[in-house]
Amino acid sequence: MSEIEPNAMAEAPPSKKVAIRNKGGKENASSQPKNQDSKNRKSKTAKAEHECRISPKCEVLFRTWRIQQLNRDADAFGVITYNDYTGYGTGEVVENMLSAFDEVINSEEKDIWMIWAHIEGMARFLSQDNYRWYHIDDSVTNGKRVMLIGTAILIAVDQLIDSGLFGNDSEIRNLGFILGLLLAFAVEYAETCPANEYGWRIVVLRKLDQHGVKVSGILRLEFVAASVRSDAMDDEEEGYEEEEPTKLSDLPNFVEAYKPAPLSSTWPVENPNDAKYDLVRSWAAWNWKQELREYTIHHGVDGKIGGNHYDLTVAHSDEYVSDAD
């Protein structure tokens, strides 16, 4: 796949002068034919359509995480273990992805292109059929992972906006495609997010709309965007539209959202205010550093997330046996 390069649009060669006769019979020299302006307009319009492609940096990251996932596939290794082993292994890879994002977002030398490559890689990885991860018996932790993924996306989008790279004329030519894939991921994992852990999808779509970026690349993604936009309108009608906080004391306690919460007595939760949870996540604000810390406290192991505990190329003889034994 082709690399995302700044100013990748090819320049048209200079046109020859043509003579245009006016009413008095005199000829006026024109540097462009009549239809050249319309061609230029079409060229600008074409550039505004974000493309269905990924960068080479993204492909390297995706292959790294995909290999990690395969190394945790019990069936591929002919290993007899508990049913959800492979799914938990994928969850570990997702945490490794988030740890990698944390490193690049906190790097002293901010590389906005590498930050975006990590978001591309997440979109590529999460667009796979990860059904064994989806169906593990710890849906609560999966919901919190979806929430942290959303915060990573929003932090990256904020960085792009600050860098002047978030818009329909951005040098990054796959914004609509990649973020569309991530919206589709959020919608697909809705059932693991009863406390609005996936509410970031609405914020992302609003930012896309505000900056004139259309979700594009695959027809299915346009239907996903329409579905998310419908959800946003429903929230507004019910009075759940979130406003930007005006002072520190108004900030929602999003840190609390990472604590394990009791399941609701009813499903689906039609009204977030009726959910019997300690907290329903608000998306009026987000903070990567604080949220990663809280996720690690409540869902990490020994103060860390990710790792290689489920990696079958690393010996864990007490965890499983080979079917050849």
- The confidence score (pLDDT) of residue 52 equals 81
Range among 32-46, 127-141, 156-170 with highest mean pLDDT value: 156-170
Nearest residue to 233 via CA among 208, 205, 194: 205
Of residues 169 and 13, the one with the higher pLDDT is 169
pLDDT mean over 123-128 = 95
In whole angstroms, what is the distance from residue 290 CA to residue 296 CA?
10
Give the lowest-confidence range in 61-70, 180-189, 276-285: 276-285
Amino acid at 90: T
Whether 196 shows a pLDDT value over 60: the answer reads yes
- The confidence score (pLDDT) of residue 277 equals 52
Q: State if pTM tops 0.85.
A: no
Give the lowest-confidence range in 26-40, 101-115, 292-306: 26-40
In whole angstroms, what is the distance from residue 279 CA to residue 315 CA?
40
Residue given tokens 């993604």 in the structure block: 221
Q: Which residues of 164-200 are buried (b: 16+ CB within 10 A; e: fewer)?
A: ebbbbebebbbbbbbbbbbbbbbbbbeebbbbbbbbb
pLDDT mean over 64-92 = 93
Q: Report residue 138 as tokens.
A: 């710890």
In whole angstroms, what is the distance from residue 109 CA to residue 319 CA?
41
- Split at pLDDT 50, 70, 90, the class of 249 is very low
Q: Report residue 304 as tokens.
A: 């860390």
For residue 106, count other CB atoms closer than 10 A to its CB. 11
- Write down the mean pLDDT value for the chain: 79
* Inter-axis angle of helices 175-188 and 200-210, nearest 10: 160
pLDDT mean over 114-126 = 98
The tens digit of pLDDT for each residue in 49-72 reads 667 889 999 999 999 999 999 999
Residue 49, exposed/middle/buried by CB under 10 A (0-12, 13-18, 19+)?
Answer: middle
β-pair type (18-21, 27-30): antiparallel
Whether 149 shows a pLDDT value over 90: the answer reads yes
Q: Report residue 239 as tokens.
A: 């009075």
Give the lowest-confidence range in 1-5, 202-206, 262-266: 1-5
- The confidence score (pLDDT) of residue 255 equals 79
Whether 45 shows a pLDDT value over 60: the answer reads no
Q: Report residue 9 as tokens.
A: 């649009």
Q: What is the DSSP string of 73-129?
A: -TTTTTEE--TTHHHHHHHHHHHHHHHHHHHHHT-SS--HHHHHHHHHHHHHHHTS-
Asked if 65 contacts 97 with a C-beta cutoff of 8 angstroms, the reply is yes
- The confidence score (pLDDT) of residue 17 equals 38
Angle subtended at Cα 231 by Cα 226 and Cα 237, rounded to the nearest 5 degrees: 125
- Split at pLDDT 50, 70, 90, the class of 94 is very high
Residue 165 sits at φ, ψ, to 5 deg, of: -115, 15
What is the radius of gyration, based on Cα positions, of the chain?
24
